Chains A and B, each alone.
Chain A
Amino acid sequence: MQGDDQERFEDYLELEQFIEELQAGHAAHPPAELTPEKANIYRMAALFRSASPDAAELRPEFAAELHARLEEEIQQRQKKRERPKLLPFLYRKQGSSGREADRDNGRSNVSRRALLAGGAAVAASLVVGAGLMHEVDQATSKPSATNSGTTIQWDEQLIADGQPTTWHFVTTLAELGDKVVRFATDTIVGYLTFDDTKGDPDEGKLVAMSAACTHMGCIVQWNSAEQRFVCPCHNGLFTEYGEPDPRSPVRYLSALPRLRTKVENGNIYVEVPTGGPSTAKPPRLNHQS
């Protein structure tokens, strides 16, 4: 038989494992680095599985859930007709003048949209019903009193104007060093680091970003050995500054949305969305190197 000499015993076993996973109704992945010919064999297994009487029909719950998400997405867009772009964080590099114009248009809840867009998993990073942080209240209430403070402007992608925000204290410049620090508020999980890469456009600046993977919203984890953020759901990779890593197995990722930061007296604050009024909780903070 043609091509028989290229078959290995392992090929049969690997395929059988794949078929067994499909029969069990599980998500199944072929071995990596298949030749196109072998990949076709796996594609065919998926096709045959879809013709099985056990194949999963479209669940009405799923249809309703997705419908609700899309409807919300479209309604948000209807309100923003004047806005040419739907997802500002996909266009992070756009000029600051455009951003100011956006601000004047009073665009609303982008982060709400991001929540809907990313699916249920995003809820883990944007918890509704947040409390204000004590010290951050103080920080925001006296903006003019900080003559030694410098405010670093970032393109904002996650937070819409009009959405209530607060400045969340994360750490100090001295503490941060070149580490990556994770922070969590009641509304968002994120990472803060310092861009010390020579020649980088953002060299010498603080980088604060949401930890919600731009693929499906799972919370990415910092891998210090690899110097990469890794998404636990589909192994998507982001660089230490939240850019999609070219080596990522998930190739259609956009960058992690950034958050604005400011430094006052050596203390680093990140602008985070607030939720509804609720009782204040102490900030959770843990350092990762």
Chain B
Amino acid sequence: MGTLHGKSARKEPAIAGSGQDSVDVQEFQKFYQEHLGQIYRYVYSRVGNREEAEDLTSQIFIKAVRGIDRERGALSMQHWLFQVARTTIADYWRVHYRVSVSSLDELLETGWEGPAEEAVTLESVRPEERVRRILQALPEHYREVLTCRFLLNLSIRDTAQKMGLTEANVKVLQFRALKRAADLESVVTG
């Protein structure tokens, strides 16, 4: 069974289709070491806490390993892993969205094989870098409140003191700052 390499230059273990299984433990070990950090950071940047980041990272890798031989066509393992990661996070967030997002199970049920040519990637920019770029693009008072709350880990009270505002003001300000940051995200990080 032939294998398909994605557009990534990284050498990838190949997954054969037709129910055959060409992943061996050594190959997977290498793949795991190369991708664990990346997936964990991606998940962490979506949930912001270790407990859920570990939980979801485990789910992603387990689903990826199990799902391999359910793929009908040949598909690069990285491609598949990223797709699982994205749908798992979408599943996680869809609970909180009103909009519907295709879940992994729905994709699998309908025999989804993924875009054959299009490279599937997670964000190429690391979370820290994305945050830095967003901060730079924000107006000064927004940048300051987010820096205090997240990068300096200051409490509401300390932030209020530092900025010469009331605590109520800080709560409003951080809400609007994050709202603006969300608007800017796609612009500054691509």
Contacts and interface: CB of A to CB of B under 8 A. Distances in A.
A127 B185 CA distance: 48
A27 B28 contact: no
Contacts of A201: none
A66 B155 CA distance: 35
Contacts of B171: 12-13, 15-16
B54 interface: yes
A53 B32 contact: no
A51 B40 contact: no
Contacts of A27: 47, 49, 51-52
Contacts of A216: 55, 59
Interface in B86-105: 88, 91, 93-99, 103-105
Contacts, number: 192
B41 A73 contact: no
Interface string A1-16: 1011001000111011
Contact of B150 (A15, A28, A51): A51
Nearest to B42: A50
B174 interface: yes
Q: Which of A43, A62, A71, A251 has the most CB of B within 10 A?
A: A43
Contacts of B176: 1, 4
A152 interface: no
A67 interface: yes
A62 B28 CA distance: 17
A66 B151 contact: no
A47 B130 contact: yes
B74 interface: no
B72 to A, nearest CB: 11
Q: Which of B69, B99, B155 has the most CB of A within 10 A?
A: B69
Contacts of A22: 48-49
Interface residues of A, number: 69
Interface stretch (B3-11, B18-26, B112-120): B18-26
Nearest to B132: A51
Contacts of B41: 50, 58
B128 A12 contact: no
Given A27-B51, A47-B48, A251-B103, A84 B69 contact: yes
A1 B177 CA distance: 12
B182 A78 contact: no
Contacts of A31: 96
Contacts of A4: 176
A43 B174 contact: no
A78 B69 contact: no
Given A1-B176, A15-B178, A58-B37, A119 B58 contact: yes
B88 to A, nearest CB: 8
Contacts of B14: none
Contacts of A128: none
Contact of A252 (B45, B91, B153): B91
Given A27-B47, A33-B98, A44-B185, 20 more contacts: A28-B49, A37-B182, A41-B179, A43-B182, A46-B46, A46-B47, A48-B151, A50-B41, A56-B49, A56-B53, A59-B54, A70-B62, A73-B65, A73-B66, A74-B28, A75-B25, A77-B23, A77-B69, A86-B66, A119-B58
Closest 7 CB pairs of A and B: A46-B48, A49-B48, A56-B50, A51-B131, A40-B182, A48-B150, A50-B45
